[in-house]
Chain A
Amino acid sequence: MRDVPLLIIGAGPAGLSAAYRAAEAGCDVLLLERAKKIGGQLVKQTHKFFGSEKQFASTRGIHIVDILAGRTKDLPGKVEILTDATVLGIYEDGVVTADIAGTIEKIRPQAVIVATGAYERTLAFPGNDLPGVYGAGAVQTLMNEYGIKPGDQVLMVGAGNIGLIVSYQLMQAGVKVKAVIDAADRIGGYLVHASKIRRAGVPILVRHTVEAALGDSEVEQAVIVEIDDEWQPIKETRQVLDVDVICVAVGLSPLADLLYQAGAKSFYISPLGGHVPLRDQNMMTTLENIYIAGDVAGIEEASSAMVEGELAGVAAAQKLGYETPDTDQLKESCLAELRQLRAGPTGGKIRTGLALAGVYS
């Protein structure tokens, strides 16, 4: 049995930021990451971030990992990071079990921050199980982490920011993007991304959906069609595209399994991406001393995940008695940064979702 003040699950942008702020206040941290390296999904974000300087705007995601990891060193509290460490369960007596490099270990933390991130959703259509139908994150992983082309000709389904950014990254890797389609009547992502893709000659077709993936054992073709106001296919607009990859970028859902298992109260809140654990202003769930941060608390961007992580780190450390004269001010400035990140028309969805979850900032 390993006794630790604070256990953080997940070493992505939220978990690393939480570790930094908690250790800064003097709290020792054990940070467990199931993958073989830290950074979560930042490791494949080759694009420059938007937002404010505090969240590393204009720095590429792949470089933000090093900055976040660097900040966890030489602090009053010690941050121990273990990779290849998958948390298996959180139990009533406060014990957490984990598979650490093939060995089951028990940990008894005084507080836990769950920063497990999200999983990629898929779309229902005939043939969606064929090899070659890949999540947008999978395509990024293959290209940007392993240097492998996912295919030669791609249909991108989804014109939100992920669909647009991954389309551009596919082009950078030398892969042909045949079209980007979206069932909505407008492009969901930033127009600066959309313009880059259109300038390169890739059509972005709104009010279009994928009807089927065709192929014997792998994707060989995609059938796409325009839809009407009732979202019904307009048959005469049906097109068959020769593609070997259908990339699905239709959003993410919180990866909250550990919290359901532990009994944290959660609700299905569509604008936040699915079942979301409830939390208070300090990011604490309905379970005493169990906190959340990042996409597991509702799907947003890496920038807000970092701020939520900082907030949860400060708050959890404070709850355990690790305070500095700056603690309350730090929490206030995190809340202010979150308000700023969620302001404006692009934050409308998240504001609606948080209001449904009872979070008013």
Chain B
Amino acid sequence: MNRIEHHPILTFPEKRTLTFYFDGKALSGKEGDTIASALHAAGVRVLGHHFKSHRPRGFYCAIGNCSSCLMVVNGVPNVRVCVEQLEEGMDVRSQNDKGVLP
């Protein structure tokens, strides 16, 4: 488990568990998570592959600046998952191309 349980300054109250799907596989995150934080907590760091070099991509800045974390969310490509709130039942998929708008 990658969640912090004890911290000298911060408290992280227990939050509702949300189920979502990563490339079709059911995973769980917490209410208040972004998609990226929920994936990271579930041990997923590779969010997709570069459309040209096919090298693995993860997030870099986590605040919506760098666009390294683009994924397909509920069928919509190029979503910056580091700033997109996780919702119950979300369909999150790795993005390996430039994406086609629905």
Asked whether A and B interact, the reply is: yes
Contact residues of A with B, CB < 8 Å? 34-36, 41, 46, 60, 62, 119-120, 122, 129-135, 137-138, 141-144, 146-150, 172-174, 217-218, 255
Residues of B within 8 A of A174 (CB): 4, 6
Chain A residue nearest to B13 (CB atoms) is A147
B90 at the interface (CB under 8 A from A): no
- Please pick, from B9, B33, B46, B61, the residue contacting A60 in the complex, using a CB distance under 8 A: B9
B62 at the interface (CB under 8 A from A): yes
Instruction: Enumerate B51-95 residues with CB–CB distance to A below 8 Å.
Output: 55-66, 68, 82-83, 85
Q: Is the CB of B60 within 8 A of A138?
A: yes
Q: Please, could you name 20 A-B residue pairs with CB atoms under 8 Å apart, sorted by A?
A: A34-B64, A36-B83, A36-B85, A120-B61, A129-B57, A130-B55, A131-B47, A131-B56, A131-B57, A133-B60, A134-B60, A134-B62, A135-B61, A138-B61, A144-B10, A148-B41, A149-B4, A172-B7, A217-B56, A218-B46
What is the count of residue pairs linking A and B with beta-carbon distances less than 8 angstroms?
97
- Please pick, from B9, B12, B58, the residue contacting A46 in the complex, using a CB distance under 8 A: B9
Q: Is the CB of B85 within 8 A of A143?
A: no
- Listed from nearest, the 4 A-B pairs whose CB atoms lie closest are A131-B58, A138-B62, A147-B12, A146-B37
The answer to whether residues A218 and B56 also contact, given A146-B37, A148-B2 and a CB cut-off of 8 A, is: yes
Q: Is the CB of B9 within 8 A of A149?
A: no
Q: Is the CB of A138 within 8 A of B56?
A: no
Chain A residue nearest to B12 (CB atoms) is A147
Residues of A within 8 A of B64 (CB): 34-35
CB distance from B15 to the nearest CB of A (A): 9
The answer to whether residues A255 and B63 also contact, given A131-B58, A142-B37, A143-B4 and a CB cut-off of 8 A, is: no
Q: How far is the CA of A137 from the CA of B9 in the complex (A)?
A: 18
Residues of A within 8 A of B61 (CB): 119-120, 135, 137-138
Q: How far is the CA of A150 from the CA of B82 in the complex (A)?
A: 14
Residues of A within 8 A of B8 (CB): 172
Q: How far is the CA of A306 from the CA of B56 in the complex (A)?
A: 39
Residues of B within 8 A of A149 (CB): 2-4
Q: How far is the CA of A119 from the CA of B34 in the complex (A)?
A: 19
The answer to whether residues A35 and B83 also contact, given A60-B9, A146-B32, A147-B4 and a CB cut-off of 8 A, is: yes
Q: Is the CB of B60 within 8 A of A122?
A: yes
Chain A residue nearest to B37 (CB atoms) is A146
CB distance from A58 to the nearest CB of B (A): 14
Residues of A within 8 A of B4 (CB): 143, 147-149, 173-174
Q: Is the CB of A141 within 8 A of B63?
A: yes
Q: Is the CB of A148 within 8 A of B66?
A: no
Q: How far is the CA of A46 from the CA of B12 in the complex (A)?
A: 13
The answer to whether residues A135 and B45 also contact, given A129-B55, A148-B37 and a CB cut-off of 8 A, is: no
Residues of A within 8 A of B9 (CB): 46, 60, 172
Q: Is the CB of A46 within 8 A of B37?
A: no
CB distance from B5 to the nearest CB of A (A): 8
- Apart from A119-B61, A134-B59, A173-B4, 19 more pairs, CB < 8 Å: A46-B10, A62-B10, A120-B65, A122-B60, A132-B45, A133-B60, A135-B62, A137-B62, A138-B61, A138-B82, A142-B37, A142-B62, A146-B41, A147-B7, A147-B10, A148-B41, A172-B8, A172-B9, A218-B45
